[in-house]
Amino acid sequence: MGVPEFDLDTTDRLLTTTRSVRKRLDLERPVELDVVRECLGLALQAATGGDNQRWRWIIVADEAKRERIGEIYAECFRELMAGAGDGDGAEEEPADLQEKFSEDLAAQERLWASVDHLIENMRRVPVLVVPCVLGRLEGSPSWVSSQYGSVYPAVWNFLLALRSRGLASCITCAHLEREQEVAEVLGIPYEEVLQVCLLPVAHHTGTTFGRAARRPMDEVVFVDEFDATTVGGPGW
Ligand SMILES: Cc1cc2nc3c(=O)[nH]c(=O)nc-3n(C[C@H](O)[C@H](O)[C@H](O)COP(=O)(O)O)c2cc1C
């Protein structure tokens, strides 16, 4: 390792404790738009394919627009959840899910309670940010990859910048099921501009965020040869 240019304790803590915050978004405390702009200024330091910077970002502060987008988000999520059970008509039992995903069910339940809280409250979050990119998704695999991929690095920079200033967010995509309706709310030319995600932004309550439990590195990181036995088994 070279000589660290940064205080690694601080940077590693920032990188390992920037979480998806839903229940701890402070819905009462206003968010200053200057701070959001400052964080977006840092976000815009991120890379884009060919340095094309075809991104556009909309900060949504207007109450009526937030309300409408929050409603669309909630409806999309509920439709997705209803659709998820449709498969073969049979609901999956928790035990099946545990075997299929080899996951900690209590953690899954906590996650769903948190997701549900955001579904109920997205419309009340003080500021929403919608990152967009010029163009739609049609095209070659490299084009498709660079469309989303030219915005997500900046999205993550934005989340890191928020966290370092006592604010928080959660990357969400559910509203894209009805992207065109949100485009109409915000005056986005849908045929030419792709929305990438929806970011609720608020101060957070409480002071601590922990490191996440993730799959062990050896299950997901390989050297020189892909381990195909990790595909299709439990937790694929
Ligand atoms: C591309 C992407 C889409 C996501 N969409 C949603 C979403 O629609 N709603 C939501 O509540 N969380 C969403 N999340 C957040 C994930 O659920 C979250 O990152 C994951 O549970 C891990 O939690 P952590 O970020 O706190 O470590 C999304 C995250 C990513 C990266």
Phi, psi torsion values for 168, nearest 5 degrees: -150, 170
Query: What spacing in Å lies between the alpha carbon of 217 and ligand 1's midpoint?
Result: 20
Among 18, 19, 20, name the best residue to mutate to test ligand 1's pocket (greatest count of ligand atoms within 8 A of Cβ).
20
Q: What's residue 90's pLDDT? A: 44
Angle at CA 210, nearest 5°, toward 209 and 215?
Answer: 140
Q: pLDDT category, 86, cuts 50, 70, 90?
A: low
Q: What's residue 2's pLDDT? A: 83
Q: How many CB atoms lie within 10 A of CB 33?
A: 13
Give the N- to C-terminal CA distance of the chain in Å, as an integer: 33
CA–CA separation, 130 and 56 (whole Å)? 8
Among 171, 208, 215, name the best residue to mutate to test ligand 1's pocket (greatest count of ligand atoms within 8 A of Cβ).
171
Give the residue whose CA is nearest to atom 30 of ligand 1: 171
Q: pLDDT category, 88, cuts 50, 70, 90?
A: very low
Q: What's residue 84's pLDDT? A: 77
pLDDT at 94 over 60: no
* Mean pLDDT along residues 92-101: 49
For 33-66, the pLDDT digits (tens) are: 999 999 999 999 999 999 999 999 999 999 999 9
Query: What spacing in Å lies between the alpha carbon of 2 and ligand 1's midpoint?
Result: 33
Higher pLDDT, 207 or 36: 36
Give the residue whose CA is nearest to atom 29 of ligand 1: 171
- Reduced to 3 states, what is the DSSP secondary structure of residue 133? strand
Alpha-carbon distance values, 128 to 67, 87, 233 (Å): 10, 33, 38
Would you call 46 exposed, middle or buried from its count of C-beta atoms within 10 A (0-12, 13-18, 19+)? Answer: middle
pLDDT at 91 over 50: no
Q: pLDDT category, 97, cuts 50, 70, 90?
A: very low
Among 215, 220, 178, 209, CA closest to 14: 209
* Mean pLDDT along residues 174-180: 98
pLDDT at 25 over 80: yes
Among 14, 117, 173, 208, name the best residue to mutate to test ligand 1's pocket (greatest count of ligand atoms within 8 A of Cβ).
173
Give the residue whose CA is nearest to atom 12 of ligand 1: 172
Phi, psi torsion values for 120, nearest 5 degrees: -70, -30
* Mean pLDDT along residues 142-152: 94
Kindly give, in sequence order, each residue whose CB lies less than 8 Å from that of residue 191, ignoring residues fewer than 6 positions away: 136
Query: What spacing in Å lies between the alpha carbon of 173 and ligand 1's midpoint?
Result: 8
| Ligand 1 and 171: CB distance under 6 A | yes
| Ligand 1 and 118: CB distance under 6 A | yes
Question: Are 189 and 165 a contacting pair, CB within 8 Å?
Answer: no
| Ligand 1 and 59: CB distance under 6 A | no
Angle at CA 70, nearest 5°, toward 64 and 76?
Answer: 140
Average pLDDT taken over every residue of the chain: 91
| Ligand 1 and 111: CB distance under 6 A | yes
| Ligand 1 and 172: CB distance under 6 A | yes
Q: What's residue 207's pLDDT? A: 84
